[in-house]
């Protein structure tokens, strides 16, 4: 049942504790379940229906209950960068800095048990140097490991029909996979110096958006970023959005001056991308750190910039469309999840509040459940924040 | 430049002196120091010409993302160690080329220095001394220019390519001032004379007369500096070829890696061949208070490629035995990772490296503790570091120069040469 | 009268200050006399031999540059040197202090201090209205505390008024504004305390943020347009706090910052009235003047900064202006007046600060006293060779600023006179006929944006190989024209050359050398080369 997300008043429903390395990715699964992955490669699954646990004694930052994770997905040996769930919510795809992509079948049985730290330690216990509390969680291994990347796999997306998976790494390589078999469909490379920051697929998996960037080699040696649409079946370039936007854009120039043509638009990189449900537009989330990050909304057919959506101080981290395509959800380094009206660019909701001192904590990723009953954000302070809407 | 700690916001005492004068006068020319006098050892040392290339990691490269990995520790970060051509020594996966050069370099994993901010650190790691209100210490480049330089050479004896540090020649005086050139290694604008050489010469002779009339009654440092800078500007006319590197760069792009820093490193080698005793080559922007891992992933690979290429090139040309290659920045970075995925300034324990000029390759000196918080073994101070550099270059680090009436040794009093690094 | 009692008291309580008060102070004694007495007492104590007094020519060029920002022209030079009036120096000083160029020059000096060559912030390079306002402050000799206060109060907008431009530089950067305000107006440097407690200074990180709290609610509001130019005003939100989480390096995810309230540097915290119950945070509306907050932290800061109760303001100003004329601060560097950086003449600095405040911050009066002193009027000949002599025993040597160079080149070559004579409307650039970008690059910014010096060699490359020749005019009314067409003897011509270019007659050897040089070839080429050789020389490059 369709909801008007912008008219909701979501309430903080769960603060799922994920102490230790930073949570970096989050995805909703079938049956009210949720997955999050962290910077060490750990993936935890929670059931929203599970009994809530009592908040940590003396915690100032916890105002909603957590619960114990029901599974831990093991195998990654370095950070999880992105998580995608299949349309039926029964498979999970994870991209990792360990150069691999793993496919997890959530219906398969668990294979073991592990002790892991999830609850943040109370201040008193920390002061007393007590060992951090652990819980026992059943573990599961991957159904498949997709090898083919030679560097950090930093970007991952699944087509809405669930048939095609696309991934990109820090060696400029992009691979399109058959999601069912794990076979490679096509691969191509971006500009050789670049890192793939973000990928997205249209609902049928036919067209890909790929954002490439890299950190400068020196103040005066700034290789060009790129944002392009590709034919995801043949690996041929279809449209260069930066060329459309900036006629003077020269991808071969690495000088400081040349970088000024695209620098403001790209800032620290287009860190996330999402096609609208009708595939007519694509939203590009701008990472920042220095400035505000917005989301550029482009027309897919012409590549033209339609408008900017939303704003996060110090940059965005993730972007997703609402089911009806009327809103974008964004997270950022301002400790907020924001819901912005696509038609007029006005902010409809702000979830979370800036925290910290001069620099805020990050919400590193966002997700919404298929039925839009829940919205979630991965919070580097060691939480997965979950809000409940009024949707039934 | 980083928002939280941009270098220009951290004015050092020296920079403040300059800032002050700049505001009072709209522009001051130079840090003209008091006179210096040290005869004797200079001529001795110059008989054995040595060179030094300083690879300057501006902003402070992270030891954890280069030479001092802490895999599996909470301070370790996102990169993984790789093996090197020295058994038992591992470095960061960002440095595959330098991993194959470890038998040529000596790494110091136990640096402990005393200036935690950029201006102070830049001053410290160029001079061996902390900034002082009363003494203007010279940079290592000025000292090497003095002891290994050639007087009246067409090329300046102390060249800085796209780098930092404003201590300059300090009390050694204007003769040893650095010549700064741009980030592409090109000569600055207006470097070439447009007038006929006979006209230039007679005009020059007249101007020299005008200068001498003025300075006769004035033992005036600014005027002397002005005159000497003028002289070097003229002499540079004869040495322009050394800076025309486009053609050679095409041949060496692969070796040094296709980056601006690589190009600068090749220029440094060429200047060594042309007899320049000291060249500093800078790479900017290591000040990774945020996104430390992305920044290092962007910066370290082109840097290490260029560095490895430089060592290969120097060695193939038989220059490495007489050329010391120093790798350092002004500070190290914190073990703890902050809430912006950044690492902040840290000087209790960090890493530097040396190669060539008799430095023992394949050596790792000193050790940090399990998380990299502190030196576990064999701490090396800035003074020890510079004493070792001077020793490697065949210059006694205890030689004293006069800053006014005060004798100042090259390396601070009490500094120890790390003998085990030298063959 | 009361002023001199203060001087007495200061000195009487300082037993170690030998020789500082061996003469009776009289009511007739001016500040200039106190300066000379104190400086000369220090020479005795330090066993220093001073340089001789500056001769008329040396004084003339120096005081013109220092007060008017340019050298005198040929006629002014000849007239002054010929004048037999024993009071001619004091009279010249009075005349220059009333010259419009005095206001221009002071405005240049302070504009550079307040904005640097490349100010941060959007549109801050378009600040001619601020500069005009600043010039007016000097032309009307508005007391320093008043115009400094106006800059910090920032009333009105950047076009119709001017002052708000200072804060425009620091939009959304209260920490940067705090550093600038304390450094410029209080002469202290807090930037280290921004990130960590400073080991040698009394101020801690919380002191820095206590000061930052005064400006943390400021915002830049666009209130209209004048032609293409935006008008900005400074709005102050009624609420909002600066959050402090300890040293940046210890910031961990999940930490909440503590709000820090406004507190004067090493002084009192400010008690704020509580906000009304029905308070709603203000959102500034474009094109409307921002409403004043019920309680203005900013105005509290202004009152404190420029008031009597803070120990820094008068001392910082007295020391800064002293250094402008004497080269070196009594505390040096002048903007680092921390307890660990001691003054060379502590009693004198006390007197200067009290006197400046006692004269209601009358800068013209203060400058008149400084440049009338024997101390200012020392020669730069002899001495130690230091560019900024610590005991003021010789005149300092300072390079001309970009503006001074351009103006002086134009004056001495007669480019300006020829321009006037031609009747054509001159170009508007202050650097004409040279390209301002180059002049500023090679002479205006001796340091790059990160505090590094960028080269003496570079400026010579410009002087030797750049387009400097365009200022050596040969048009009617120019120096070259006078030398070529004049009927005087060659000795007289060389004198004219030196009086024009260096404001002094030529010496015997100069007459011979130049005359022979000119006689050796085509006179136009040779005169031109001689002019080049002199205007690129050290004697021209520096104010000495």
CA-based nearest distance C503→chain B, Å: 13
- Contact with chain C for residue B225, Cβ under 8 A: yes
Is B80 an 8 Å CB contact of chain A? Answer: yes
Residue with tokens 């009314």: C477
pLDDT tens digits for range A334-385: 999 999 999 999 999 999 998 866 678 999 999 999 999 999 999 999 999 9
Q: Decide if pLDDT at C387 tops 50.
A: yes
Give the residue on C whose Cα is nearest the Cα of B194.
Answer: C465
* Residues of B whose CB is below 8 A from C367: none
Which residues 30-89 on chain B approach chain C with CB closer than 8 angstroms? 30-32, 34-35
Considering only CB atoms, which chain A residues are within 8 Å of C248? Answer: 357-359
The reply to whether residue C457 touches residue B233, judged by beta carbons under 8 angstroms, is yes
**Residue A63 in contact with residue A15, Cβ under 8 Å?**
yes
Q: Using the beta-carbon criterion (under 8 Å), do B183 and A333 form an inter-chain contact?
A: no
- B233 vs chain C: nearest CA distance in angstroms? 6
A-chain CB neighbours of C175 within 8 Å are 358
Chains meeting B at 3+ CB pairs closer than 8 A? Answer: A, C
> Quick check: C374 and C393 in contact, CB under 8 A?
no
- H/E element, C208: helix C205-212
Is A195–B297 a contact, with Cβ atoms under 8 angstroms apart?
yes
Contact state of A356 with C257 under an 8 Å Cβ cutoff? yes
Q: Is the CB of A355 inside 8 Å of chain C's CB atoms?
A: yes
| Cβ-Cβ contacts under 8 Å, A380 against chain C | 253
Q: Pairing mode, if any, of strands B345-346 and B332-333?
A: antiparallel
3-state SS of chain C: helix, strand, coil percent to 5? Answer: 50, 5, 45
Domain end residue (candidates: B240, B260, B287): B240
Determine, for residues A221 and B259 on separate chains, whether the beta-carbon distance falls below 8 Å. Answer: yes
Q: Which of C333, C460, C509 sits opposite B20 (nearest CB)?
A: C333
Q: Hey, what are B333's tokens?
A: 């970075």
Nearest to B291 among A214, A219, A289 (CB): A289
- Sign of the dihedral through C-alpha B405, B132, C334, C436: positive
| Chain-chain contact of C196 with B116 (C-beta, under 8 angstroms) | yes
How far apart CA C128 and CA A75 sit, in angstroms, is: 64
Provide the ipTM: 0.94
The DSSP symbol for C471 reads G
Domain assignment present for B307: yes
**C323: nearest Cα among C337, C302, C306:** C337
Which positions ≥6 away from B48 have C-beta within 8 Å? B394
Among B residues 265-294, those touching chain A with beta carbons less than 8 Å apart: 283-285, 290-291, 294
Give the per-residue pLDDT at C243.
Answer: 78
Say how many residues make up chain B.
423
Interchain CB contact of B299 with A (< 8 Å): yes
Q: Which tokens in the block code for residue A36?
A: 């999050």
The Cα of A353 is separated from the nearest Cα of chain C by a number of Å equal to: 11
Judged against a pLDDT cut of 80, whether residue C427 lies above it is answered with: yes
Residue A5 has pLDDT above 70, yes or no: yes
The pLDDT assigned to B42 comes to: 54
CATH topology of domain A5-388: Methylamine Dehydrogenase; Chain H (2.130.10)
Higher pLDDT, C27 or C76: C76
**Contact check, Cβ <8 Å, A254/B260:** yes
Q: In terms of DSSP bridges, do strands A207-213 and A195-201 run parallel, antiparallel, or are they unpaired?
A: antiparallel
Could you tell me where the DSSP H helices lie in C266-362?
A: 297-306, 313-326, 346-358
C359 confidence band (pLDDT: 50, 70, 90):
very high
Does C246 or C330 have the greater pLDDT score? C330
Interface test with B, best of C382, C390, C394, C457 (most B CBs within 10 A): C457
Residue A314: closest C-alpha in chain B: B340
A89/C contact by beta carbon, under 8 A: no
> Is C254 in Cβ contact with A355 (below 8 Å)?
yes
- Does any CB of chain C come closer than 8 Å to the CB of residue A122? no
* Contact by Cβ (8 Å): A165, A86: no
Asked if pLDDT for residue A294 goes beyond 70, the answer is yes
- Amino acid C383: pLDDT: 73
Instruction: Mark whether B215 and B307 lie in a shared domain.
Output: no
Q: Judge: C251–A357 Cβ closer than 8 Å, yes or no.
A: yes
* Residues B218, B263 within the same domain: no
User: For residues B139-154, b (16+ Cβ closer than 10 Å) or e, as one string?
Assistant: bbbbbbbbbbbeeebb
Q: Yes or no: say if C249 and C312 are a contact pair by the CB < 8 Å rule.
A: no
User: C449 pLDDT band (50/70/90 cuts)?
Assistant: very low
- Percent of chain C, pLDDT > 90? 66
- Say yes or no for a CB contact (<8 Å) between A355 and C256: yes
| Cβ-defined contact of A361 to C256 (cutoff 8 Å) | no
Could you identify the residue written with the tokens 């050298």? C71
For residue A290, give the nearest of B3, B284, B294 by CB distance: B3
If you measure CA to CA, which chain B residue comes closest to A217?
B299
Nearest residue of A to residue C175 by CA position?
A358
Q: Is residue B261 part of a domain?
A: yes
Q: What is the mean pLDDT of residues C421-430?
A: 88
The parent domain of residue B135 ranges over 48-185+245-421
Collect all residues of chain B within an 8 Å Cβ-Cβ radius of residue A358: 4
Looking at the fold, whether B279 and B380 belong to one and the same domain comes out as yes
**Same-domain pairing of B76 and B217:** no
Mean pLDDT confidence for A152-172: 98
Show residues of chain A in contact with C245, CB under 8 Å: 356-358
User: In terms of domains, do B125 and B219 share one?
Assistant: no
Q: What is the three-class DSSP state of C84? A: coil
The mean per-residue pLDDT over the stretch C175-191 comes to 89
User: Tell me: the pLDDT tens digits for C474-489?
Assistant: 999 999 999 999 999 9
State the residue for tokens 């706090």.
C241
Closest CA to A242 of A224, A255, A230: A224
Which of A42-46, A346-350, B186-190, C286-290 is predicted with the least confidence, judged by mean pLDDT? B186-190
Residue in chain C lying closest to A120 (CA): C254
Closest CA to B308 of B369, B371, B266: B266
Report whether A151 contacts A169 (CB < 8 A). yes
Q: How many domains does chain B have?
A: 2
Contact A357 C257 (CB under 8 A): yes
Q: Which chains have 3 or more CB–CB distances shorter than 8 Å to chain C?
A: A, B
Compute the average pLDDT of residues A45-62.
83
Average pLDDT estimate for C5-15: 36
Average pLDDT over residues C274-281: 83
Residue B134: inside a domain, yes or no? yes
Same domain flag for B304 and B383: yes
Chain A residues with beta carbon closer than 8 angstroms to that of C253: 22, 356, 361-362, 379-382
Same domain? For B231 and B328 the reply is: no
- Provide, as residue numbers in chain B, all residues whose Cβ is less than 8 Å from the Cβ of C170: none
* pLDDT digit string, tens, across residues C303-322: 999 998 899 999 999 999 99
Q: Which residues of chain C lie closer than 8 angstroms to A381, CB-CB?
A: 253-254
Which stretches of chain A sit within 8 Å of chain B by CB?
22, 39, 78-79, 97, 170, 195, 214-221, 254, 268, 289-290, 333, 356, 358-359, 361-362, 380-381
pLDDT in tens, C360-376: 999 999 999 999 999 99
CA distance C3 to chain B (A): 28
Could you state, in order of their start, the residue ranges of all structural domains in chain A? Answer: 5-388
Ranges of chain B whose pLDDT falls below 50: 1-41
Flag the least confident range among A15-19, A47-51, B352-356, C187-191. Answer: C187-191
Tell me whether residues B297 and A170 touch, CB distance under 8 A.
yes
Closest residue in B to C527 (Cα–Cα): B203
Rounded Cα gap, residues C431 and A293, in angstroms: 41
**How far C446 CA sits from the closest chain A CA (Å)?**
21
Domains of chain C, residue spans: 56-101+310-377, 119-306, 399-543
pLDDT at A105: 97
pLDDT for A226 beyond 70 = yes
Chain B, 181 to 240: residues with Cβ < 8 Å from chain A are 183-184
pLDDT of residue C6: 37
Q: What is the mean pLDDT of residues C380-391?
A: 80
How far does B245 lie from chain C, in Å, by closest CA?
20
With an 8 Å Cβ cutoff, is A358 touching chain C? yes
CATH number at residue B60: 3.40.720.10
Strands (E), C257-303: 258-260
- Inspect the interface and report whether the beta carbons of B28 and C536 lie closer than 8 Å: no
pLDDT at residue B314 in the model: 97
Nearest CA in chain B to C325: B24
Same domain, B289 and B389: yes
Q: Is residue B210 in some structural domain?
A: yes
């Amino acid at each position: 049942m369709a909801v008007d997300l912008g008219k909701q008043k979501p309430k903080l429903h769960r603060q799922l504790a994920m102490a230790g390395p930073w949570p970096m990715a989050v995805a909703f699964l079938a049956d009210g379940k949720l997955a999050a992955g962290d910077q060490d490669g750990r993936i935890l699954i929670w059931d929203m229906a599970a009994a809530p646990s009592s908040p940590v004694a003396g915690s100032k930052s916890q105002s909603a209950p957590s619960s114990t994770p029901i599974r831990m997905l093991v195998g990654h040996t370095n950070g999880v960068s992105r998580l995608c769930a299949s349309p039926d919510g029964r498979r999970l795809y994870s991209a990792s800095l360990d150069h691999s992509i793993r496919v997890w079948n959530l219906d398969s049985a668990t294979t073991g048990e592990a002790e892991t730290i999830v609850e943040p330690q109370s201040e008193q216990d920390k002061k007393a140097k007590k060992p951090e509390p652990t819980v026992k969680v059943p573990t599961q291994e991957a159904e498949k490991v997709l090898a083919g990347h030679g560097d950090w796999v930093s970007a991952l997306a699944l087509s809405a029909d669930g048939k095609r998976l696309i991934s990109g790494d820090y060696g400029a390589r992009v691979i399109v996979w058959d999601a069912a078999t794990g076979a490679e469909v096509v691969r191509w490379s971006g500009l050789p110096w670049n890192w793939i920051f973000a990928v997205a697929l249209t609902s049928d998996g036919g067209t890909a958006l790929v954002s490439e960037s890299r950190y400068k080699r020196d103040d005066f040696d700034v290789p060009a970023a790129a944002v392009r649409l590709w034919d995801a079946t043949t690996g041929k370039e279809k449209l260069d959005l930066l060329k459309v936007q900036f006629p003077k854009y020269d991808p071969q120039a690495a000088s400081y001056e040349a970088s000024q043509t695209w620098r403001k638009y790209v800032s620290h990189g287009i860190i996330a991308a999402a096609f609208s449900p009708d595939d007519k537009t694509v939203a590009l989330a701008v990472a920042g750190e220095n400035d505000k990050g917005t989301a550029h909304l482009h027309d897919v057919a012409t590549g033209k910039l339609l408008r900017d959506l939303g704003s996060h101080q110090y940059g965005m981290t993730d972007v997703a469309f609402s089911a009806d395509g009327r809103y974008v959800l964004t997270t950022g380094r301002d400790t907020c999840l924001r819901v912005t009206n696509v038609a007029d660019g006005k902010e409809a909701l702000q979830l979370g509040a800036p925290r910290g001192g001069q620099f805020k904590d990050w919400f590193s990723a966002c997700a919404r459940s298929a039925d839009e009953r829940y919205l979630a954000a991965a919070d580097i302070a060691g939480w997965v924040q979950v809000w409940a809407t009024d949707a039934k | 430049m980083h928002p939280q700690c941009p270098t220009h916001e951290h004015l050092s005492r020296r920079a403040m002196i300059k800032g002050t004068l700049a505001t009072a006068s709209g522009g001051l020319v130079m840090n003209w120091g008091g006179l210096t006098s040290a005869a004797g050892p200079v001529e001795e040392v110059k008989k054995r010409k040595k060179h030094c290339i300083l690879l300057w990691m501006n902003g402070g490269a992270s030891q954890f993302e280069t030479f001092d990995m802490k895999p599996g520790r909470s301070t370790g970060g996102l990169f993984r160690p790789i093996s090197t051509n020295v058994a038992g020594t591992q470095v960061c996966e960002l440095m595959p080329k330098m991993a194959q050069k470890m038998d040529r370099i000596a790494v110091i994993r136990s640096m402990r220095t005393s200036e935690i901010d950029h201006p102070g650190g830049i001053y410290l790691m160029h001079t061996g001394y902390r900034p002082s209100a009363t003494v203007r210490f010279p940079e290592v480049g000025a000292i090497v220019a003095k002891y290994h330089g050639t007087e009246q050479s067409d090329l300046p004896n102390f060249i800085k390519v796209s780098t930092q540090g404003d201590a300059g020649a300090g009390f050694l005086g204007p003769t040893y001032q650095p010549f700064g050139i741009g980030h592409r290694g090109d000569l600055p604008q207006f470097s070439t004379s447009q007038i006929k050489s006979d006209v230039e010469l007679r005009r020059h002779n007249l101007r020299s007369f005008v200068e001498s009339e003025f300075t006769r009654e004035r033992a005036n440092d600014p005027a002397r500096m002005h005159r000497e800078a003028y002289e070097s500007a003229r002499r540079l006319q004869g040495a322009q070829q050394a800076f025309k590197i486009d053609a050679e760069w095409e041949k060496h792009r692969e070796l040094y890696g296709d980056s601006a820093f690589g190009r600068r490193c090749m220029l440094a080698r060429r200047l060594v061949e042309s007899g320049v005793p000291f060249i500093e080559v800078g790479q900017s922007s290591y000040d990774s208070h945020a996104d430390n891992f992305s920044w290092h992933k962007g910066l370290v690979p082109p840097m290490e490629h260029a560095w490895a290429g430089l060592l290969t090139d120097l060695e193939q040309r038989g220059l490495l035995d007489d050329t010391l290659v120093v790798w350092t920045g002004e500070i190290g970075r914190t073990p703890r990772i902050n809430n912006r995925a950044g690492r902040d300034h840290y000087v209790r324990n960090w890493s530097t490296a040396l190669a060539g000029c008799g430095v023992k390759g394949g050596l790792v000196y000193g050790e940090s503790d399990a998380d990299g918080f502190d030196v576990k073994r064999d701490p090396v101070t800035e003074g020890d570091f510079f004493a070792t550099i001077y020793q490697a270059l065949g210059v006694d680090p205890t030689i004293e120069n006069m800053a006014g009436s005060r004798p100042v040794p090259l390396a601070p009093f009490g500094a120890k040469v790390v003998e085990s690094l030298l063959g | 009268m009361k002023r001199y009692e203060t001087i007495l008291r200061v000195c009487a309580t300082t037993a170690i200050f030998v020789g500082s008060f061996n003469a009776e102070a009289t009511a007739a004694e001016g500040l200039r006399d106190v300066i000379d007495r104190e400086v000369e007492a220090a020479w005795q104590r330090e066993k220093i031999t001073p340089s001789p007094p500056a001769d008329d020519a040396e004084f003339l060029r120096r005081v013109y540059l220092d007060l008017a920002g340019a050298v005198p022209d040929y006629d002014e030079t000849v007239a002054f040197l010929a004048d037999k009036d024993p009071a001619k120096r004091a009279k010249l000083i009075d005349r220059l202090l009333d010259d419009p160029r005095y206001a221009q020059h002071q405005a240049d000096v302070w504009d550079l201090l307040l904005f640097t060559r490349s100010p941060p912030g959007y549109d801050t390079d378009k600040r001619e209205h601020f500069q005009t306002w600043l010039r007016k402050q000097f032309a009307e000799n508005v007391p320093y505390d008043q115009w400094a206060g106006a800059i910090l109060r920032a009333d009105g907008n950047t076009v119709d008024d001017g002052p708000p431009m200072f804060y425009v530089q620091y939009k959304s950067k209260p920490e940067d504004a705090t550093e600038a305000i304390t450094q410029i107006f209080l002469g202290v440097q807090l930037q280290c305390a921004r990130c960590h407690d400073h080991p040698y200074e009394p101020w801690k990180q919380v002191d820095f943020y206590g000061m930052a709290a005064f400006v943390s609610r400021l915002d830049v509001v666009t209130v209209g347009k004048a032609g293409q130019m935006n008008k900005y005003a400074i709005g102050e939100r009624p609420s909002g706090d600066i959050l402090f989480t300890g040293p940046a390096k210890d910031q961990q995810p999940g930490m909440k910052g503590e709000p820090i309230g406004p507190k004067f540097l090493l002084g009192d915290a400010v008690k704020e009235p509580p906000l009304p119950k029905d308070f709603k945070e203000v959102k500034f509306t474009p094109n409307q003047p921002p409403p004043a907050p019920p309680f203005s932290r900013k105005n509290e800061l202004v009152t404190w900064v420029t008031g009597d109760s803070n120990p820094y303001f008068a001392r910082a100003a007295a020391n800064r202006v002293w250094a402008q004329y004497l080269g070196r601060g009594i505390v040096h560097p002048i903007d680092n007046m921390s307890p660990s950086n001691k003054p060379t003449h502590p009693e004198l600095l006390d007197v200067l600060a009290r006197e400046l405040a006692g004269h209601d911050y009358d800068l013209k009066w203060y400058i008149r006293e400084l440049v009338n002193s024997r101390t200012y009027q020392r020669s730069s000949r002899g001495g130690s060779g230091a560019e900024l002599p610590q005991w003021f025993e010789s005149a300092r040597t300072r390079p001309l600023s970009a503006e001074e160079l351009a103006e002086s080149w134009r004056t001495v070559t007669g480019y300006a006179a020829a321009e006037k004579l031609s009747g054509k409307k001159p170009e508007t650039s202050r650097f004409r006929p040279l390209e301002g970008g180059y002049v500023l690059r090679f002479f205006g910014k001796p340091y790059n944006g990160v505090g590094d010096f960028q080269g003496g060699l570079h400026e010579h490359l410009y002087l030797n190989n750049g387009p400097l020749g365009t200022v050596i005019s040969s048009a009617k009314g120019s120096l070259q024209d006078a030398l070529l067409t004049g009927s005087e003897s060659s000795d007289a011509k060389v004198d004219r050359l030196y009086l024009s270019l260096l404001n002094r007659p030529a010496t015997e050897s100069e007459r011979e050398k130049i005359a022979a040089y000119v006689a050796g070839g085509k006179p136009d080429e040779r005169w031109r080369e001689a002019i080049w050789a002199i205007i690129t020389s050290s004697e021209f490059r520096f104010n000495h």
